[in-house]
C-alpha cells in the first residue's frame, strides 16, 4: 500500500468547494511565509472568477502526516456534469460538501449518484454552520436519506460527518464545538478514505483529462490503474475505434502542491501527467507495448440541447474580431470537443454553419463567452431541445427537476409561471423563512423562465435544475408574448426619435449607438414585430421657442447578459456575438424577405 489518498470534492454550486480547497492548501503550508496569494486559488481563469463558479476540474496535492493527498476540485453545475463524470474515475473517495441551511440540492444528487455508482467512499462535510437559520442535524439526516435512496452500500452509508465553516477555516465532528483549524478534516481523510491500491501487472492508464503547454504540446492526465509507467518507455495507445498506436513516454510528472514535479516512474494509484504522446483523446488507454489491454471507456450522459453556430455575416462583420471565417469557427469548435466531452459538433449542409450539442444554456454560453474573449466573431440561433422517439414512435422530450426557493408572498406567482410552461408542482414546504418548491418541467419550458421568475420575485428567487429523464411530449408551451422592435436603416440612433418612440416598447440601445437594418433594437408592447426609423433628426428652423423644446427624457436601455440574450431570441432571430458586443438581429435583415419567408411557413 502506498501513502496516497485520491479524493474528489463534490457539491452543489456555491456550497464552498473551492474555498475549502484554499483552506486545505493553506493548512498544508504549500506557500512560503513570504508568498502572497488570492482567494479561490484554483479558479484561475477569468470566467471562473467573474462568475464565482468552477467550470473545469483541477488537480492539486498536499502532504499531511507523511501522506500525499491528491485533491480534485470539480464543478457544481449539472451543465458541466461531463467534467465530474470523468474525473471521479481518478478518485478512491469523495468529500461531499453540503450547505448547512440549503441542504442537499439537485446537483448534489446528480454528482453523488455518480460517486455512489463508482463505489467511492464518502465523507460528508456540512459547511457554513456559522450561517443564520442553519440546521446541521436536519441536513445530516437529509444526506443519509439521499444516499439510501441512491442505493448506497452499507459501507457507504456508514459515513463520517464533519461540521464547520470553510470561510472561517475550521472543521469539527460536533458543530457546537468550534475548533482552531481544518486538521480534523485532514485526519478524517487519512483515516476513512482507502489508500490508493497498488495493482501489479502490465501498465495501464486511462486518459481522463488533458492539459496543454506551448513547449511540449498536449499533455495526457490520468490515474495509473495498474503496474508502473516509466520515462522513455515504449507503450501502446488504445483508441475508441479499437486501433492500437505505438507511442513513447517522453516525460512523467506528478502533482506536487499547485504545480507538477518531474519523476522517472509512476506506480499504480498515483495521478500523473504524461508528455510526448500524440493523437490521444480523453478515454483512451495507455497500455503495455507487448500485451496491450484497454480499460472500459468513460460513459458520459447525452446532450439535451443544441444550437446553430454560424459565421457572422451582419453588416458590422469583421469590425471587432480577429477570427471571422468558417475555417476559424470549424477548427475552434472541433478543438473544444477534444477536452469538453459532453459537447458534440455536427456539420450541416452549409459549410459555414454547425450544430453544437451541449448539456444546457450555461454549458453552451461558457463556450461562446470563451470564444469571444479569444477574438472570435460568430452568430448563434435559438437553443433547441433534443427530442427522442420510443419504440412505438411517440415523441419524448427531456424533463428537468426544478427547485425554487422563494419568499412566501411571491410563491404563488412562481407556481403560476412554471405551470404555464407545463411544469408540475411535486413538493411545497417551508424552509426557514422561504417557501421551497419542486417541479418537474420540460427542458424547453426553462428557456427564458429565469428572467420571468426573477422579475416576479424582485430578484429574490433561488433556482436550480438538473436533467431527470425523457418523458412523453407535454404539448405546446407559450413563447415570448411580445414582438420585436426592428431598425429600418443603418446609422446612429438619435435621441429625438428614441424619445418619441418610447411608447412603442422597451429599447436595448442608447442614443448615438450605431445600428443596422434588421437589428432587433427593443421589445414591442404588442405581439407583432414593428420596424422603426430611428435615424430621423428633428426638423430645424431658425426660430427659437423656449417653451416647445421640451427636454428629452429617455429610459435607460435594457441590459442583457449572454445567457439572457440566448434565452430571449425567437426562432427567426440570431444572436451576433463579437469580442466587444452582443446584438440581436433577424435572420433575414430585409423586411420584404422576412414577410416572404413568413408566408412560406404559413
As annotated, the binding site for GTP includes 14-19, 127-130
C-alpha cell at 201: 501487472
Q: Which helix (H) or strand (E) holds 415?
A: helix 411-420
CA distances in angstroms from 485 to 171, 482, 523, 524, listed in the order given: 56, 10, 5, 5
Widest Cα–Cα separation across the chain: 97
Angle at 325 between CA 323 and CA 330, to 5 degrees: 90
What is the distance in angstroms between the CA of the first residue and the CA of the last residue of the chain?
A: 71
Alpha-carbon gap, residue 240 to 282, rounded angstroms: 9
Beta strand extents in 88-180 (DSSP E only): 93-99, 121-127, 160-165, 170-172
Beta strand extents in 276-364 (DSSP E only): 285-288, 305-310, 344-347, 353-358
Q: State phi, psi for 237 to the nearest 5 degrees.
A: -105, 120
C-alpha cell at 429: 414546504
H-type alpha helices, 281-384: 326-339, 361-373
Alpha-carbon gap, residue 523 to 536, rounded angstroms: 20
CA distances in angstroms from 127 to 133, 165, 169, 365, 389, listed in the order given: 13, 5, 10, 30, 43
Alpha-carbon gap, residue 420 to 418, rounded angstroms: 5
Of 48, 182, 52, the closest CA to residue 125 belongs to 182
Strands 4-11 and 93-99: parallel
Residue ranges for the binding site? 14-19, 127-130
Amino acid at each position: 500500500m502506498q501513502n496516497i489518498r485520491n479524493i474528489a470534492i463534490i457539491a452543489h454550486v456555491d456550497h464552498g468547494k473551492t474555498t475549502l480547497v484554499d483552506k486545505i492548501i493553506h493548512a498544508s503550508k504549500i506557500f512560503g511565509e513570504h508568498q502572497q496569494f488570492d482567494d479561490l486559488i484554483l479558479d484561475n481563469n477569468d470566467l471562473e472568477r467573474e462568475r464565482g463558479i468552477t467550470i473545469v476540474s483541477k488537480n492539486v496535492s498536499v502532504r499531511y502526516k507523511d501522506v500525499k493527498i491528491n485533491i480534485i476540485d470539480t464543478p457544481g453545475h449539472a451543465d458541466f456534469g461531463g467534467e465530474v463524470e470523468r474525473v471521479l474515475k481518478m478518485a478512491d473517495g469523495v468529500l461531499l460538501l453540503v450547505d448547512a441551511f440549503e441542504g442537499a440540492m439537485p446537483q448534489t444528487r446528480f454528482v453523488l449518484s455518480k460517486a455512489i455508482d463508482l463505489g467511492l467512499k464518502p465523507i460528508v462535510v456540512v459547511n457554513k454552520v456559522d450561517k443564520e437559520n442553519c440546521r446541521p442535524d436536519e441536513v445530516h439526516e437529509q444526506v443519509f436519506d439521499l444516499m439510501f435512496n441512491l442505493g448506497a452500500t452499507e459501507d457507504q452509508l456508514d459515513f463520517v460527518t464533519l461540521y464547520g465553516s470553510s470561510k472561517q477555516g475550521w472543521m469539527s465532528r460536533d458543530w457546537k464545538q468550534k475548533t482552531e483549524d481544518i486538521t480534523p478534516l485532514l485526519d478524517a481523510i487519512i483515516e476513512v478514505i482507502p489508500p490508493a491500491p497498488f495493482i501489479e501487472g502490465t501498465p495501464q492508464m486511462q486518459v481522463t483529462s488533458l492539459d496543454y503547454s506551448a513547449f511540449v504540446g498536449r499533455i495526457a492526465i490520468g490515474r495509473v490503474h495498474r503496474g508502473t509507467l516509466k520515462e522513455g518507455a515504449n507503450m501502446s495507445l488504445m483508441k475508441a475505434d479499437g486501433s492500437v498506436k505505438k507511442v513513447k513516454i517522453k516525460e512523467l510528472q506528478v502533482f506536487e502542491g499547485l504545480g507538477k514535479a518531474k519523476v522517472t516512474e509512476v506506480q499504480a494509484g498515483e495521478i500523473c501527467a504524461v508528455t510526448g504522446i500524440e493523437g490521444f483523446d480523453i478515454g483512451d488507454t495507455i497500455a503495455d507495448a507487448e500485451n496491450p489491454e484497454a480499460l472500459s471507456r468513460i460513459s458520459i450522459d447525452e446532450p439535451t440541447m443544441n444550437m446553430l453556430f454560424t459565421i457572422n455575416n451582419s453588416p458590422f462583420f469583421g469590425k471587432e474580431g480577429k477570427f471571422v471565417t468558417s475555417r476559424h469557427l470549424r477548427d475552434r469548435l472541433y478543438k473544444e470537443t477534444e477536452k469538453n466531452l459532453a459537447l458534440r459538433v455536427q456539420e450541416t449542409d452549409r459549410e459555414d454553419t454547425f450544430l453544437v450539442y451541449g448539456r444546457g444554456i450555461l454549458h453552451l454560453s461558457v463556450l461562446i463567452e470563451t470564444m469571444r474573449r479569444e477574438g472570435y466573431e460568430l452568430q448563434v440561433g435559438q437553443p433547441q431541445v433534443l427530442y427522442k422517439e420510443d419504440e412505438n414512435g411517440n415523441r419524448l422530450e427531456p424533463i428537468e427537476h426544478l427547485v425554487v426557493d422563494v419568499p412566501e408572498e411571491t410563491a404563488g406567482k412562481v407556481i403560476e409561471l412554471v405551470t404555464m410552461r407545463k411544469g408540475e408542482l411535486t413538493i411545497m414546504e417551508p424552509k426557514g423563512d422561504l417557501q421551497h418548491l419542486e417541479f418537474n418541467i420540460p427542458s424547453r419550458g426553462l428557456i427564458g423562465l429565469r428572467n420571468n421568475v426573477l422579475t416576479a420575485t424582485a430578484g429574490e428567487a433561488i433556482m436550480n435544475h438538473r436533467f431527470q429523464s425523457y418523458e412523453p411530449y407535454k404539448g405546446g408551451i407559450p413563447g415570448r408574448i411580445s414582438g420585436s422592435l426592428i431598425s429600418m436603416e443603418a446609422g446612429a440612433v438619435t435621441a429625438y426619435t428614441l424619445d418619441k418612440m418610447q411608447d412603442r416598447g422597451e429599447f436595448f440601445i442608447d442614443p448615438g449607438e450605431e445600428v443596422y437594418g434588421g437589428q432587433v433594437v427593443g421589445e414591442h408592447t404588442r405581439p407583432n414585430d414593428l420596424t422603426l426609423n430611428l435615424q430621423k433628426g428633428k426638423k430645424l428652423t431658425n426660430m427659437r421657442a423656449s417653451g416647445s423644446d421640451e427636454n428629452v427624457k429617455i429610459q435607460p436601455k435594457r441590459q442583457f447578459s449572454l445567457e439572457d440574450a440566448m434565452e430571449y431570441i425567437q426562432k427567426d432571430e440570431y444572436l451576433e456575438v463579437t469580442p466587444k458586443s452582443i446584438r440581436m438581429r433577424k435572420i433575414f435583415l430585409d423586411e420584404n424577405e422576412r414577410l416572404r419567408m413568413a408566408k412560406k411557413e404559413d
